[in-house]
Amino acid sequence: MSNDPFADVSPWDEPTEAPIAETPEESPVTTAPATVSAAPNPFKIGLTFKAASGFDAEWITPTVYGGSADEVAQRTVDLIGALKEHGVIELASKAAEYTRGQFKGGSGGAAKAAPKRFEGGRVVAAGGGDSGGAPEGDTTCVHGQRTHRTGANWEAMFCPAREKSEQCPPAWKDKKTGRFVAKG
């Protein structure tokens, strides 16, 4: 039977001749010895060095590979020692701090936030009134320091919770008073 789709033979017709058996080509034989694993470094460990507990903290996330668990463990110790010796962790922290300092739309982050206290069901900055030039009003929520955002004709402070379903309502800037007020 022909494999030609344009042939004048119906696929339902009985073949009149015995089909010729096609022999597949044989794959070449290799003489390489068999290995336990095809991967040159079957063991790996991923590390995360996080500078602080907040979402805005810088991370260094190296991965270490090796041919055995012992090799990966030793390489991990060597990596941590080299990161410390060459000041990589401190340099990454300084670079992240510099980058955050270049951002012109934010409140400066939680590192510069005033101490907090719980009052009337809300987290508020300690000292209450004067915030030293920072936005006034609802600049914090139960999840911490709110993030300042602006648009063409609006300003608001948003909850820092990662999950949208857990976020507190935004605190919108009242143009008459200049204070941020959470509604809801």
Look up the domain containing 172 and give its range.
Answer: 110-182
The answer to whether 140 and 112 have CB atoms below 8 angstroms apart is no
Whether residue 114 sits in one domain with residue 94 = no
Looking at the structure, do residues 121 and 165 belong to the same domain, yes or no?
yes
Considering the domain boundaries, does residue 146 fall inside one? yes
Q: Are 91 and 119 found together in one domain?
A: no
Is residue 34 one of the residues assigned to a domain?
no
Instruction: Tell me if residue 165 falls in helix, strand or coil.
Output: helix
Residue entry with tokens 């300084």: 94
Q: For residue 108, is pLDDT > 80?
A: no
Q: Are residues 48 and 77 part of one domain?
A: yes
Give 115-164 pLDDT, tens digit per residue.
566 666 666 655 444 444 456 777 888 888 888 888 888 888 888 888 88
Same domain, 118 and 178: yes
Instruction: Provide the 8-state DSSP code for 115.
Output: P
134 and 94 in a common domain: no
Instruction: Please indicate whether residue 126 or residue 183 has the higher confidence score (pLDDT).
Output: 183
Cα-atom radius of gyration of the chain, to the nearest Å? 32
Q: Are residues 95 and 127 in the same domain?
A: no
Q: Are residues 118 and 165 in the same domain?
A: yes
Q: How many helices (H) and strands (E) does the chain have?
A: 2, 13
pTM greater than the 0.85 cutoff:
no
Query: Would residue 23 count as lying in a domain?
Result: no
Residue 28 lies in a domain: no
Please report whether residue 65 resides in a domain.
Answer: yes
**159, 118: one domain:** yes
Q: Are 55 and 160 in contact (CB under 8 A)?
A: yes
Going by C-beta distance under 8 Å and a sequence separation of 6 or more, which residues neighbour residue 87?
none
Bridge-based pairing state of the strands 147-150 and 155-158: antiparallel
Residue 51 lies in a domain: yes
Residue with more model confidence, 56 or 152: 152
Q: What is the pLDDT of residue 136?
A: 72
Over range 100-107, report the average pLDDT: 65
CA distance 22 to 25: 9
The domain tally of the chain equals: 2
